[in-house]
Amino acid sequence: MHRADPTYQNYFFIGIGGIGMSALARYFKAMNRSVSGYDRTRTPLTHQLKKEHITVMYDEGTVQEKLQGLSAEDTLVVYSAAFRSEHPILKYAEDKGLKLRKRAYILGELSKKVPTLAVAGTHGKTTTSAILTHILKANKLPVTAIIGGVLEHEDTNFIHQGNDMLIVEADEFDRSFLQLSPLHACIISTDADHIDTYATKNDMQQAFRQFHQKVKGSTFISSDTDLPGIKLGFENENTPVVIKNVRVLNGRFYFDLSLNNDIYEHILSPLPGKHNIQNTAFAIALAYCYRSDLMKGFISSLKDFMGIKRRFNVLVHTKEELIIDDYAHHPEAIKAVHNSLREMFPDDEQAVFFQPHLYSRTQQFEDEFAEVLSLFDAVYLLPIYPAREEPVAGISSQNLLDKVKHQKKYLIQKEQFIDRVNHAPEPIKAILGAGDIGQLVGTLKGTGS
């Protein structure tokens, strides 16, 4: 049995409401440590943390009082990469002599102590790691998972069933994944992203190469990615791991997989679309590296996977309409959602409700966003969600909307969102984005038009 016993008794998380930070906070709570933290806003996730007896504070003065009472020798302050070093709470903790570490460093230390399966890629990480977590957990393996999405069935982003294997997402933002020391890994995609971290696409590609070099065992690589490793692709792509015989039966996607000279047939892809078939194949390949003798059980358990919140979640499905909610915030991810919907409903009009995420990303991909949004039959844009950024002159949702190539396009405000979704005439509606649009859909669920 491998152990990952934390060194400190007290862990304080700055940005504890973040999806990655909250999972790590839950990990240390499971290790019987004292866990508390700060976040700027109250969300359903911070509310859930409080129900789990994790103290969450929203006032900087209260945080200072808390930090003042903690022992410098026995306390670690963990902060998200979204918080800059000059943040008042970070400065206060530093002045008090408390040790500070980024989340990525802590995750890296855990990966050195526990054999780790890491999922990398500019998109597909959460879906793949969630499917991997599900099939290992369903087969009663002693795993811990720290993932960037909330599993529908478990209603959590943290699974603790044992310490023999750790499952993590290898995040390229802020070069965080270079802290990891994985046993096995996969790299799903390396599309250009994170202009605030990487000056060029080649710069980002080099970071992925560095990540690959840190993997001790097998690394599975998407066939269209120019990196070394075990290539995984579809038929006719001449890869060692091959997805074959893709078909749709009763509205669900199935495929066969050739892996290590064995053929595994009639595998259910629990989420629709070609990209999710690939995500499922990556999850199976990593599970194979861990326990190849359990492949039959892994494949069988896919039918019970209920999905991840904000990953192609069906909010409304009637004879008249389908409303799905997805975290997609990169042009390639938006295109994947569109293609999945078009495969499922080739004759129905589609509307997209999109909240651009970050000024820098909108600026970097403005033309690509306009092109992919134009694939939909109607476009409804919300203002840009800034997150950690200040506005950029000349970059706005209106400017982006002006580049969309058809006439059914609208700029809407948050207070109009529910009404516009409910009354949009298109029967297929996709709600996309990584900002607070995910909180708006909570009031929509179960309504319909």
Pairing of strands 143-151, 156-160: antiparallel
pLDDT at 421 over 90: yes
Look-up of token digits 């997209």 = 352
**CA 231 to mean position of chain CA atoms:** 22
Question: What's the number of domains the chain is made of?
Answer: 3
Give mean pLDDT, residues 178-198: 83
pLDDT at position 4 is 45
DSSP state of 308: B
User: How remote is the C-alpha of 115 from its chain's centroid?
Assistant: 21
Within this chain, do residues 39 and 186 fall inside the same structural domain, yes or no? no
Burial annotation 208-247 (CB, 10 A radius, 16+ → b, else e): beebbebbeebbbbbbebeeebbbbbbeeeebebbbeeee
Shared-domain flag, residues 93 and 138:
no
Kindly state the average pLDDT of the residues 68-73.
88
Predicted confidence at residue 6, as pLDDT, reads 55
With pLDDT > 90 as the criterion, what percentage of the chain qualifies? 65
What confidence score (pLDDT) does residue 447 get? 42
Residue 193 has pLDDT above 80, yes or no: no
Q: Which of 102, 127, 147 is the last residue of a domain?
A: 102
Last residue of a domain, one of 245, 269, 304: 304
**One domain, residues 31 and 144:** no
Whole-number Å distance between alpha carbons of 149 and 130: 8
Distance of alpha carbon 331 from alpha carbon 372, whole angstroms: 6
Do 320 and 192 fall into the same domain? no
Of the two residues 444 and 124, the one the predictor is more confident about is 124
Is the same domain home to 144 and 257?
A: yes
Q: Is the pLDDT of residue 442 over 80?
A: no
Q: What is the CATH number of the domain that holds 356?
A: 3.90.190.20
Paired with 12 in beta bridges are 36, 77
Phi, psi of 149, deg, nearest 5 = -160, 160
Distance CA 242, CA 257 (A): 6
Give 252's pLDDT tier (boundaries 50, 70, 90).
confident
230 and 162, same structural domain? Answer: yes
The enclosing domain of 222 has a CATH number of 3.40.1190.10
Per DSSP, the three-state class of 317 is strand
CA distance 10 to 12: 7
Q: In this structure, is residue 239 part of a structural domain?
A: yes
Query: Which of 45-54, 195-204, 245-254 shows the highest mean pLDDT?
Result: 45-54
* pLDDT, tens digit (0-9, with 9 covering 90-100), for 78-123: 998 778 778 889 999 999 999 999 999 999 999 999 999 999 998 8
* Rg of the chain on CA atoms, in Å: 22
Do both 47 and 124 map to the same domain? no
378 within some domain: yes
Q: What is the model's pLDDT at position 24?
A: 96
Task: Give the pLDDT score at 443.
Answer: 67
CA–CA separation, 214 and 207 (whole Å): 11
Confidence class for position 61, pLDDT limits 50, 70, 90? confident
Predicted confidence (pLDDT) per residue in 366-397, tens digit:
999 999 999 999 999 999 999 878 899 999 99
Q: Verify that 411 and 327 share a domain, yes or no.
A: yes
pLDDT tens-digit readout, 257-314: 999 989 999 999 998 888 899 999 999 999 999 999 999 999 999 999 988 887 788 8
Strands (E) located in 347-420: 350-354, 378-381, 409-411
Mean pLDDT of the chain: 90
Residue 338 in domain: yes
Q: What is the pLDDT of residue 196?
A: 63
Do 118 and 253 sit in the same domain of this protein?
A: yes
pLDDT in tens, 124-178: 899 999 999 999 999 999 999 999 988 988 889 999 999 999 999 999 888 899 9
pTM exceeds 0.85: no
Confidence band (pLDDT; 50, 70, 90) for 446? very low
Beta-ladder partners of 77 = 12, 100
3-state percent helix, strand, coil for the chain, nearest multiple of 5: 35, 25, 35
Question: Which residue segment(s) compose the domain that 88 sits in?
Answer: 10-102
Find the CATH number of the domain harbouring 19. 3.40.50.720
Same domain membership, residue 428 and residue 283: no
Tokens 């040790």: give the residue.
99
| Confidence tier at 230 by pLDDT (50, 70, 90) | very high
Q: What is the pLDDT of residue 5?
A: 46
Q: Of 256, 286, 304, which one is at a domain's C-terminal end?
A: 304
